[in-house]
Structure 1
């Protein structure tokens, strides 16, 4: 059985924090991405240490008023978007 996916920030990204939001720039594409408060918090958590979706949601539920199912769905969708843009990498945990 495959383990959970572990997500970590790509080395190919520059970041800048402006107030409570983070702006990312992909070095390879030159494209900029603005993250809202929740997206910025997910990025900060991932820059500290690679995490699974479950561990990310546990941290987010402590900080934000969100139920587990909504957190899992929204965070998974957000992570897949970042993976598709090359900003985050996912690896299967063994």
Structure 2
């Protein structure tokens, strides 16, 4: 399992549209084959900066999602709202303490 972290920075006036669309799409994204977790975070200091964390069984699952119509719809809508280039990292989870 690995984690995909994406940093998204929006124009202030576009934050409500992003949040509304995320609310509409979150269950569909979470139910994509191979997705095990989807989380959304907001930066404490800059309310226009968000991070998504998604857990995937395999890199192929993420790539299949990224080639899906669902991703196309989500990304086509979201990218119009950005004020800065998005950043993304794929990382392996090494340690979990509960």
Please indicate the TM-score interval, normalised by the length of the shorter structure.
Answer: 0.3 to 0.5
Q: What TM-score do you get using the length of structure 2 for normalisation?
A: 0.34
Q: What TM-score do you get using the length of structure 1 for normalisation?
A: 0.35
